[in-house]
Structure formats: structure tokens, C-alpha cells
């Protein structure tokens, strides 16, 4: 898995504003990158590339020929209408490893990547990751449309994820997510796996582990309403952008409170996962006992996952480095020390424990 996860995956499209590209990107768990914005910086990590662009355009062909003249070791996938000769020829000129029909399912794309890199991935992992991503995608869309949230679907996805992690191990599960997904979906899925194994580690009963897992899946659902330019900004946010970003817990909570059947304590964690025990968090500045156990579990998992995430330009922290940051926050009184210590025993942090 390491090969894909270290190099990253880019989805290059005609433009980033079209709903179609965004929707497809979301199904893959990748934010689209416009062909005009695509530049040599993006090739630094030698990423796997998925092109969803018009290869009949001379400008596009010229740009791609120049940029892709040197062959890296990443996979090149072109989404081309196979009946369009010009497109097929263009893909061949650009040394395509796979030419697939537009809107090919995530499973097809992932299989192509695995085949290219000669990897075998455990099917129970990919199935549960795909189910989780589909549930997330559905949830993000439902929030935007203010539709009823599919609570049963989210619980079903949580249940599958718990079983897959049980049988295949949390490390491989997380590696699969990091290999194929970027951005908010990658983050949500990593928080989910982390919180789920943490809950298991704490000896919670199955129904509570499902509750924690589902809470983790939806904890950032409010980000659905945050502009993509802010969510995916490469660099620090301005104070105004930070203010906007900080609305996401309340947006997610308000939506789920009205439109879902999610348990009250799981719901609270959606609102309060950015609170700290010393009262320095947001949105309500809660402190100490005002922050319940599920929320504390989600907060620790959220911070840990954000640190080990792979981003286009930022190398991820190792599990040990990420764990050290948690210990630092506990020392400052922001996180519960005993809980952070217990977290150190989760399998992904064996070395730190
Ligand atoms: Fe968040
Ligand atoms: Fe988060």
C-alpha cells in the first residue's frame, strides 16, 4: 500500500466548478484539480493521475505533452469516451496506463491502480471503505439539500467498517484510505477508523462502538457547507476564513438534529469535537465535565487523524510523532491525559505505548 499512499492521487478536470466533476470527484474521494491550475509542482510527489479532460483540445494536449514528457512511476489513468477516436489517440500519445470510460466507478479506478502497482488489497477492506465513502457522500449531499439523513445507512456502514478493521487490522484499513482518498473524505474515514479502534480498545460494547464509529463518520458533515476554496486551501487560513471554517460543527449538528435519528451523545460530539478541556475550544467554549466521553474520544481521534493524513504538499506525521502531539496537548490540560494514554495502546500506536 505504501507506494500509492506516499505518492498521492490527483483528479484533473476541465474545470473545478462543474457539479459533475465535483460529484464524480466526491465519489472517488478526491477534489478535482482544474487543468489550468495543474502545474509541475503537483508532480513533485510523482502522483497517480486521473485525467478527465478534453483531449481534442490542442491547448490541453500541448500542456500535458510538455508536463508529462518525463515518465514518473505513478499510474496515468485517462477517462475517455472509448468511441471518440481523437480522445483515445490522445491518451495513447500521453502514455496512458489505463483508458477507462468517463464516470467509471470508484471500484474500477481502484482496481486499475492496484493492478498498475501490482498490489493485492483485502476485499473486506475495500468493500467497507467504499460503503463508508458512499455513506459520507450521501450525507454530505443530503445536508446541502436539507434532506433526511440516512441514519440506518450510516450505522450499517459503521458496522461493516468495525468488522473489516477487526478482521483485516486498522493499519491496512487506514493505509487503503490514505492510498485512494484525499481531502475531507480521507480525513473523515481516518477519524472513523481511529475512533472505532479506540472505542474497541476501551472495551466498549458493540452498540457503543457503532455509536462512536458513526459519530466519527459524520463529525465533519458540516464541512459540506464550507466553500471548497477554504476547505482545500494550500496554506494557512486568513482570520475571516478561519471564522467561516469554525461554523462547521454547528452546521453539522443543527442539520443532524433536525434530519437524522443519530443518538443524542453522538450528536453532541458533532457539535463539540473542537472543544478542549481547558475551555479554549469552539464553538461553545465548553470545559471539563461539560465535554462528554464520546466527544473526548472523537476529539483525540480527530487530531491524530489530521496529523497522519496525507496532503498534496505536506508529508504526514508518523504515528509516534502524532502521538507525541497528543501528549503535548494533554500536558497543557486540553485533552484528558488518561484517555490519551489509553489511546497510546490502540494498535496503530503500538510503538508509542
Ligand atoms: Fe471538525
Ligand atoms: Fe475533523
Residue with cell 496532503: 311
Please tell me the distance between residue 116's alpha carbon and the centre of ligand 2 in angstroms: 32
Residue 92: the pLDDT is: 86
Cell numbers found for residue 146: 436539507
284, 323: one domain:
yes
User: Which of 116, 146, 164 marks a domain boundary?
Assistant: 116
Is the torsion defined by CA of 50, 43, 129, 173 positive or negative? positive
Please tell me the distance between residue 220's alpha carbon and the centre of ligand 1 in angstroms: 5
Q: Residue 171's domain is classified under what CATH number?
A: 1.10.3210.10
**What is the DSSP secondary-structure string of 176-243?**
HHHHH--HHHHHHHHHHHHHHHHHHHTT--HHHHHHHHHHHHHTTGGGGGS-HHHHT-SSPPPHHHHH
Please tell me the distance between residue 218's alpha carbon and the centre of ligand 2 in angstroms: 9
* pLDDT digits (tens), the chain, 353 positions: 445 555 678 999 998 888 889 888 888 878 889 999 999 888 888 889 999 999 999 999 999 999 998 877 889 999 988 666 777 888 888 988 888 888 888 878 887 887 787 766 688 888 899 899 889 999 999 999 999 999 999 999 999 999 999 998 888 888 778 766 667 888 999 999 999 999 999 999 999 999 999 999 999 999 999 998 888 777 788 999 999 999 999 999 999 999 999 999 999 999 999 999 999 999 999 999 999 999 999 999 999 999 988 665 567 788 889 999 999 999 999 999 999 999 987 755 444 33
Report the alpha-carbon distance of residue 285 to residue 282 in Å, rounded: 5
Please tell me the distance between residue 36's alpha carbon and the centre of ligand 2 in angstroms: 30
User: Which of 99, 116, 133 marks a domain boundary?
Assistant: 116
Q: Would you give the DSSP letter of residue 79?
A: E
The helix-helix angle for 123-145 and 19-28 (nearest 10°) equals 140
Q: Helix, strand, coil % (nearest 5) of the chain?
A: 60, 5, 35
225, 286: one domain:
yes
198, 258: one domain:
yes
75, 203: one domain:
no
Residue 184: the pLDDT is: 85
222, 327: one domain:
yes
Please tell me the distance between residue 183's alpha carbon and the centre of ligand 2 in angstroms: 11
Residue 4: the pLDDT is: 52
Please tell me the distance between residue 309's alpha carbon and the centre of ligand 2 in angstroms: 11
84, 184: one domain:
no
Ligand 1 being an ion, which residues bring their Cβ within 5 A of it? 220
Please tell me the distance between residue 302's alpha carbon and the centre of ligand 2 in angstroms: 5
Task: Give burial (CB, 10 Å; 0-12/13-18/19+) of 249.
Answer: buried
Residue with cell 468517463: 102
238, 283: one domain:
yes
278, 135: one domain:
yes
Q: Domain range for residue 199?
A: 123-349
Please tell me the distance between residue 182's alpha carbon and the centre of ligand 1 in angstroms: 16
User: Which of 71, 94, 116 marks a domain boundary?
Assistant: 116
64, 173: one domain:
no
153, 217: one domain:
yes
Residues in the chain: 353
| End-to-end alpha carbon distance in the chain | 24
Q: Residue 85's domain is classified under what CATH number?
A: 3.40.50.2300
Report the alpha-carbon distance of residue 274 to residue 303 in Å, rounded: 9
Residue 2: the pLDDT is: 45
Please tell me the distance between residue 189's alpha carbon and the centre of ligand 2 in angstroms: 10
Count of domains in the chain?
A: 2
Cell numbers found for residue 299: 476529539
Please tell me the distance between residue 214's alpha carbon and the centre of ligand 1 in angstroms: 14
Question: From the CB of residue 276, how many other CB atoms can be counted at a distance below 10 Å?
Answer: 18
103, 135: one domain:
no
328, 223: one domain:
yes
Amino acid at each position: 500500500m505504501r507506494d500509492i499512499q506516499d505518492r498521492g492521487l490527483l483528479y484533473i478536470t476541465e474545470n473545478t466548478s462543474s457539479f459533475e466533476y465535483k460529484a464524480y470527484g466526491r465519489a472517488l474521494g478526491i477534489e478535482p484539480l482544474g487543468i489550468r491550475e495543474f502545474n509541475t509542482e503537483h508532480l513533485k510527489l510523482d502522483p497517480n493521475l486521473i485525467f478527465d479532460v478534453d483531449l481534442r483540445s490542442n491547448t490541453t494536449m500541448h500542456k500535458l505533452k510538455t508536463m508529462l514528457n518525463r515518465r514518473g512511476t505513478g499510474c496515468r489513468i485517462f477517462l475517455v469516451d472509448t468511441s471518440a477516436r481523437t480522445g483515445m489517440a490522445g491518451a495513447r500519445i500521453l502514455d496512458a496506463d489505463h483508458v477507462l470510460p468517463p464516470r467509471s466507478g470508484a471500484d474500477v479506478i481502484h482496481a486499475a491502480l492496484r493492478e498498475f502497482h501490482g498490489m493485492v488489497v483485502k476485499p473486506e477492506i475495500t468493500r467497507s471503505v467504499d460503503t463508508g465513502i458512499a455513506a459520507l457522500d450521501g450525507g454530505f449531499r443530503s445536508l446541502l439539500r436539507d434532506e433526511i439523513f440516512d441514519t440506518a445507512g450510516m450505522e450499517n456502514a459503521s458496522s461493516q467498517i468495525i468488522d473489516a478493521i477487526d478482521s483485516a487490522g486498522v493499519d491496512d484499513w487506514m493505509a487503503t484510505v490514505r492510498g485512494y482518498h484525499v481531502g475531507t473524505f480521507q480525513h473523515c474515514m481516518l477519524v472513523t477508523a481511529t475512533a472505532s479502534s479506540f472505542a474497541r480498545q476501551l472495551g466498549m460494547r458493540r452498540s457503543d462502538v457503532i455509536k462512536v464509529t458513526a459519530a466519527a463518520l459524520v463529525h465533519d458533515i458540516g464541512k459540506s457547507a464550507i466553500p471548497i476554496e477554504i476547505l482545500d486551501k494550500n496554506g494557512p487560513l486568513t482570520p475571516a476564513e478561519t471564522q467561516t471554517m469554525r461554523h462547521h460543527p454547528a452546521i453539522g449538528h443543527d442539520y443532524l438534529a433536525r434530519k437524522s435519528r443519530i443518538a443524542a451523545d453522538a450528536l453532541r460530539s458533532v457539535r463539540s469535537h473542537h472543544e478542549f478541556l481547558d475551555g479554549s475550544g469552539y464553538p461553545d467554549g465548553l470545559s471539563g465535565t461539560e465535554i462528554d466521553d464520546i466527544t473526548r474520544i472523537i476529539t483525540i481521534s480527530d487530531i491524530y487523524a489530521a496529523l497522519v493524513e496525507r496532503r498534496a504538499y505536506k508529508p504526514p506525521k508518523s504515528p509516534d510523532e502524532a502521538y507525541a502531539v497528543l501528549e503535548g496537548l494533554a500536558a497543557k490540560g486540553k485533552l484528558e491525559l488518561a484517555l490519551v494514554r489509553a489511546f497510546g495502546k490502540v494498535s496503530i500506536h503500538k510503538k508509542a505505548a
